[in-house]
Amino acid sequence: MNKIYNPHKNDWKTILARPTQTVEDIEATVLQIFNEVKSNGDSAIEKYTSFFDGTIIKNMQVTEVEISKIDNSIDYELKQAIQLAKNNIEKFHSAQKTPKIEVETAQGVKCWQEKRPIQKVGIYIPGGTAPLFSTVLMLAIPAKLAGCSEIVLCSPPNKEGNIHPAILYSAKLCGVTKIYKVGGIQAIAGMTFGTETIPQVYKIFGPGNQFVTVAKQLATKYNVAIDMPAGPSELLVVADNTANASFVASDLLSQAEHGADSQVILVSTSKKQIEAVEQELDVQLHKLERKAIAEKAIANSKLIYVENEHIALDLINEYGPEHFIICTENEDFYVNGIQNAGSIFIGNYTPESAGDYASGTNHTLPTNGYAKQYSGVNLDSFLKSMTFQKASKEGIATIGNAIEIMAEAEGLQAHKNAVTLRLNSLKDE
C-alpha cells in the first residue's frame, strides 16, 4: 500500500481518487448493448450472455423444478447462518416502518402522507468471482416488507449455465417472484426495457462492477429509477494506538478481496500503528485464497498519516467512504462528526463483515463518494411517499383568497379561476 504522510489539503482530491474508469470510457459499450436489447430483446440477451459469461442460455428463467432441487445443495450450517441473518435484517428493516402522518394545516384543510410500495422492482446480484447471496437478503427482505408485488432477480450464470445454489436458496427464502440467469449490462438493459422473457421494472437495485454501475445510470434515462450508483467496494478505517493492528489489517483485506478495482484506506494519527498494520497486511495477505485479487486492490490503496483527529475527520468526510470503521480511543469524536459515509462500524469488535452479513443493517451502499448525497438501501428505498389533501367548504374558504392572490401574481389565471368558482358557489348558498 502507498504510504502518505501529512498530505497537504490541496492534494487530497488526487490522493483520494478512486481507481475507476470514467463514465465516458464505459458508456459507449453500455449504450450499444442497451440499444440491442431494446431492439432485439431475448436474442440480444442470449448473445451477450454467451459473449461475457461463456455459456449459451436458451431458458433464461429459473424454473420451479430447478428451485425445488436446491435444498439438497445447501448444507445445514449455511442454512442456519442465512436464517440468522434473515431474522436480523427483517428485525432492523421492520423497525423502519412509519405510520401515516396526518395534520390539519388550516381550519377545514386536512393533509396526510402515506407510503405505498413500488410495484415492480428489479434486483441485480453479482456472480463473478464471488456469488453474493447475502445481497439477496439485503434487497429482497425490505422489498417483501415494503409490499412490492413483483420482485425480479437477475444474476449471471456460471459456465454450466446455472446460478449459484445459495443465491437461489436465499431468493426462494425471501420471496423473490422471478429469477433470471442473466448478468452484467444485458441484465440491467433487460429489466429496463423488458424483453419477451424478462419483465420491465420500475426501479433497479443492487451492486456491480463499473459496467453495471454505468448501465444503472443509463437506465435512469429510460424512466427507470435506481437505488444509487453502487460500484466497486471500498473501506476506510481510522485507527490510533488503541486499535488492534491485526484486526485493522483483516478489515482492509476483507474489502480488498472483493475485486481488483476495490479500494481500502487506513487513516491514522499514529505512525507506529501504520507500520504495524502494514506488517500484518503482509502476513495475512499470503494466507488468502483470493490473494491475487486482493493484491491488485491493495495496489490502489493508501496508508495515510495525519497529525490530529480533526484533520483525519476532515479528510474522511472529503472521501465519503462506503464503509467506515472507527477504531480509536475517542470514538465519539468520529461518530458525532462523520457526515459522509454509507455505513459506520464502531470499535475493535465490529468488523465490516458484520454489516455485510448478519448484524441487520443493509450492505447495499453508495460508493465512489456518493455517500455525500445518497443513503444506503433501506425500507423506504422500496416505498413511495404519497401526499393527500381534502378541503371542506370551510377549508377552501379559509385558504381560497390566498390561493387567488398567489395565482394572479404568477399570471396563472386558470389556477385562480378554479378557486374563484368554488368561493362564488359558497356565496350563493
Active-site residue among 46, 309, 322, 352?
A: 322
410 is in an annotated binding site: yes
What distance in Å separates the CA atoms of residue 252 and residue 352, rounded to the nearest whole number? 9
Grid look-up 450450517 returns: 77
**8 A C-beta contact, residue 155 and residue 169:** no
Is-catalytic flag, 322? yes
53 is in an annotated binding site: no
Q: Where are the strands (E) in 39-160, listed by range?
A: 101-106, 109-117, 120-124, 150-154
What distance in Å separates the CA atoms of residue 340 and residue 107, rounded to the nearest whole number? 42
356 is in an annotated binding site: yes
What distance in Å separates the CA atoms of residue 355 and residue 381, rounded to the nearest whole number? 18
Name which of 309, 300, 295 is nearest 238 in CA terms. Answer: 309
The SS3 of residue 97 is: coil
**8 A C-beta contact, residue 113 and residue 387:** yes
119 is in an annotated binding site: no
209 is in an annotated binding site: yes
Name which of 166, 198, 193 is nearest 179 in CA terms. Answer: 198
255 is in an annotated binding site: yes
Task: Work out the end-to-end distance of the chain between its first and last CA atoms, rounded to an integer number of angstroms.
Answer: 81
Active-site residue among 93, 164, 323, 363?
A: 323
Q: How many helices and strands, by DSSP H and E, does the chain display?
A: 17, 14
258 is in an annotated binding site: yes
In sequence order, the β-bridge partners of residue 222 are: none
What distance in Å separates the CA atoms of residue 320 and residue 372, rounded to the nearest whole number? 6
What distance in Å separates the CA atoms of residue 5 and residue 3, rounded to the nearest whole number? 7
15 class by beta-carbon count within 10 Å (0-12 exposed, 13-18 middle, 19+ buried) = middle
* Residue 13: φ, ψ to 5°: -60, -40
**Amino acid present at 214:** V
The SS3 of residue 106 is: strand
Is-catalytic flag, 310? no
Name which of 324, 315, 319 is nearest 342 in CA terms. Answer: 324
What distance in Å separates the CA atoms of residue 381 and residue 398, rounded to the nearest whole number? 37
Q: Which residues are annotated as a binding site for NAD(+)?
A: 124, 186, 209
Q: Which residues are annotated as a binding site?
A: 124, 186, 209, 233, 255, 258, 323, 356, 410, 415
User: What amino acid positions are annotated as catalytic residues?
Assistant: 322-323
Q: Which residues are annotated as a binding site for substrate?
A: 233, 255, 258, 323, 356, 410, 415
Q: Which residues are annotated as a binding site for Zn(2+)?
A: 255, 258, 356, 415
